[in-house]
């Protein structure tokens, strides 16, 4: 997972200069698409029916870059107004246009984004059907998954491809605006995805969203990666509850214990291995080599657990963090700041 290799994975956003492909070619509303606002129920449907219903919760996204457009994808979850997508689809842009399955057009308002997680949440000007959230942890290698998105151009919006789960809990180092960043707990699959698929959902055979497609290998075939849905789900809960969300900051850069072993650390327990402690974590006394096992009473076995656990709290909260150091167990109170 050296930097030179993972550079080939970065950014599934399709960038189009001078507006080419930045406008939609639809001229009418397709009234055959059921756009009633509801959680889409897919129990008892066959594969074709499931995919036909699921696409009504998917949107194409174009973001004005000034000298062109970024093209991506998104999916409505939990409420017909909220769209989950990738941060890199929207981070450098202005006006956000959403393209719905019935060929109507609306706008998106950016509510929250996080470059480290490569996730963002938009509020849609139009309420649309939304998909049920599944569990990435329940996935099994070899099971079927489906990727929805807008590959290459808006002309191909609401494209669906089929594949299988190839591996779980992948970690990749990618280059971002602020330098290198590690995306962890990724779902690897071989459903075909291309630039423009960024932010689109990865769904299971029940039509549940299990991930958000983020990366692909440009130098190989059938190597796609999706962020686990659990992280975006818990943040969406907070935004629906409070109409906004200020991301809490712990200050821990670390790896799952399994990944830490790959990097030469011999660990005999589950948890998050601390590579560097900054801000609140440093103030609380954490150092490189500590293994975090609990956060605010939430058991931590992986980086995904740490991130989803952290987002159950707010900036300013004081919580207890438990960790081990050289075989000894410790607990400290830590005050979360705002990211």
Q: How many CB atoms lie within 10 A of CB 241?
A: 9
Q: Give the H/E segment covering residue 260.
A: helix 257-262
Residue 225, pLDDT score: 94
Q: What is the DSSP letter of 64?
A: E
Q: For residue 190, give both structure tokens.
A: 């071989």
Same domain, 289 and 222: no
Number of domains in the chain: 3
Residue 268, pLDDT score: 67
Q: Which of 14, 56, 73, 88 is catalytic?
A: 88
Q: Which of 198, 233, 257, 302 is catalytic?
A: 198
The domain boundary residue, chosen from 132, 160, 192: 132
Same domain, 46 and 150: no
Q: Report the CATH number that the domain containing residue 186 is assigned in CATH.
A: 2.40.10.10
Quick check: is 259 in a domain? yes
Same domain, 33 and 116: yes
Same domain, 101 and 190: no
Quick check: is 120 in a domain? yes
Same domain, 153 and 186: yes
pLDDT in tens, the chain (339 residues): 222 333 344 445 555 554 334 455 555 788 899 999 999 988 778 999 999 999 999 999 999 988 888 899 999 999 889 999 999 999 877 899 999 999 999 999 999 998 888 899 999 999 999 999 999 999 999 999 999 999 888 888 899 999 999 999 888 877 655 556 678 889 999 999 988 899 999 999 999 999 999 988 777 778 899 999 998 999 999 898 887 788 899 999 888 766 666 666 666 678 888 988 999 999 999 999 899 999 999 999 888 889 889 988 988 999 999 999 988 999 999 999 987
Q: Report the CATH number that the domain containing residue 302 is assigned in CATH.
A: 2.30.42.10
pLDDT tens digits along 269-299: 788 889 889 999 999 999 998 999 999 999 9
Determine the 3-state secondary structure of 48 from DSSP: helix
Max distance between CA atoms of the chain, in angstroms, equals 67
Same domain, 15 and 96: yes
CB distance 166 to 142 below 8 Å: no
The yes-or-no answer on residue 198 being catalytic is yes
> Which domain, by its residues, includes 171?
136-234
The yes-or-no answer on residue 158 being catalytic is no
Single out the residue of 42, 133, 119, 131 nearest to residue 80, CA to CA: 131
Same domain, 41 and 125: yes
The yes-or-no answer on residue 118 being catalytic is yes
Q: Which of 118, 256, 290, 305 is catalytic?
A: 118
């Amino acid at each position: 997972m050296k930097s030179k290799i993972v550079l080939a994975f970065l950014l599934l956003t399709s960038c189009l200069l001078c507006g080419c492909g930045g406008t939609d070619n639809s001229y009418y509303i397709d009234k055959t698409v059921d756009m009633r606002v509801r959680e889409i129920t897919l129990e008892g449907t066959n594969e074709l029916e499931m995919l036909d219903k699921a696409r009504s919760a998917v949107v194409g996204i174009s973001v004005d870059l000034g000298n062109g457009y970024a093209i991506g994808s998104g999916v409505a979850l939990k409420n017909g107004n909220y769209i989950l997508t990738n941060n890199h689809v929207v981070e450098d842009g202005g006006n956000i246009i959403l393209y719905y399955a019935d060929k109507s057009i609306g706008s998106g308002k950016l509510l929250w984004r996080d470059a480290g997680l490569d996730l963002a949440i938009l509020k849609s000007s139009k309420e649309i059907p939304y998909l049920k959230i599944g569990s990435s942890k329940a996935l099994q290698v070899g099971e079927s998954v489906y990727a929805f998105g807008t590959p290459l151009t808006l002309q191909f919006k609401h494209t669906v491809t089929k594949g299988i789960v190839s591996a779980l809990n992948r970690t990749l180092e990618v280059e971002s605006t602020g330098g290198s960043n590690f995306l962890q707990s990724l779902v690897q699959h071989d459903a075909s995805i291309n630039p423009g698929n960024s932010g689109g959902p990865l769904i299971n055979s029940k039509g549940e969203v299990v991930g958000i497609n983020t990366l692909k290998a440009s130098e190989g075939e059938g190597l796609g990666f999706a962020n686990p849905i659990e992280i975006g789900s818990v943040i969406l809960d907070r935004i629906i509850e409070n109409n906004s969300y200020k991301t809490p900051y712990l200050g821990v850069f670390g790896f799952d214990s399994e990944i830490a072993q790959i990097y030469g650390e011999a660990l005999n327990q589950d948890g998050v291995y601390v590579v560097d402690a900054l801000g609140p974590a440093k103030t609380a006394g954490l150092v490189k080599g500590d293994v975090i096992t609990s956060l605010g009473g939430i058991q931590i076995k992986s980086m995904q657990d740490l991130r989803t656990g952290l987002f159950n709290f707010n900036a300013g909260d004081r919580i207890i963090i438990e960790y081990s150091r050289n075989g000894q167990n410790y607990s400290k109170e830590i005050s979360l700041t705002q990211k």
